[in-house]
Amino acid sequence: MVDTGEPVPYMERTRQCYRALGYAKDYVWARHDDVPFSKLPKPLSESRLALITTANPVDYSGTRQLWSGAIHPAPPRLHTADLAWDKESTHTDDRGTFLPIEVAEKLAGEGVFAALAPRFHGVPTDYSQRSTTEDVAPKVLQRLRDDGADGAVLCPL
């Protein structure tokens, strides 16, 4: 792949990919007129953050579901083989590129934010906006609250 310095036309490439796979309809991106995000309740330097990934646990059984893992010890690997990513241009052998626990802990140590929550969370990529909105998101929110997180950093694969 040649780096042209231009932004990757992600949405158009996704449309072309879906068409090439034989889907009758283009992928429809979620749209929220009332964005379900909010400002941090306190300054970032005083906030505990959680990490959220789209990767699966190493012992992935084939059923995509919400899961959580401990920050300590950080998992050396996660299961990514079944997910869609450009396997010709990159790899997922370096877990830190898509679940940057060590970098986040370094930033917390420098005072950028207060600390990491004790767990990271893995969300399923089932492409269902209804499932994500009505089932997974409320469960993730509850886990974040249980962990005392003030915010989350999304680390999609």
Closest CA to 55 of 106, 7, 125: 125
Chain segment 73-116, per-residue pLDDT in tens: 999 998 888 777 677 777 788 888 889 999 999 999 999 999 99
Give yes or no for a contact between 35 and 41, defined as CB atoms under 8 angstroms apart: no
| pLDDT band for position 70 (cuts 50, 70, 90) | very high
- The answer to whether the Cα torsion of 143, 146, 147, 150 is positive or negative is positive
CA distance 105 to 156: 18
Q: For 140-149, b where at least 16 C-beta lie within 10 A, e where not — what string? A: beebbeebeb
- Do 68 and 117 meet the contact criterion of CB atoms below 8 Å apart? no
Q: According to DSSP H, which parts of the chain are helical?
A: 10-20, 101-109, 129-131, 137-146
Q: In 3D, which of 49, 121, 142, 117 has the Cα closest to residue 78?
A: 121
Proportion of the chain in helix, strand, coil states, percent, rounded to 5: 30, 15, 55
Query: What does the pLDDT read at residue 87?
Result: 76
For the chain, domain boundaries: 41-155
Q: What is the pLDDT of residue 151?
A: 95
At 74 the pLDDT is 93
pLDDT score for 154: 93
Give per-residue pLDDT as tens, 2-59: 677 887 787 888 888 888 888 888 877 777 777 667 888 899 999 999 999 988 888 8
- pLDDT of 66 over the 90 cut: yes
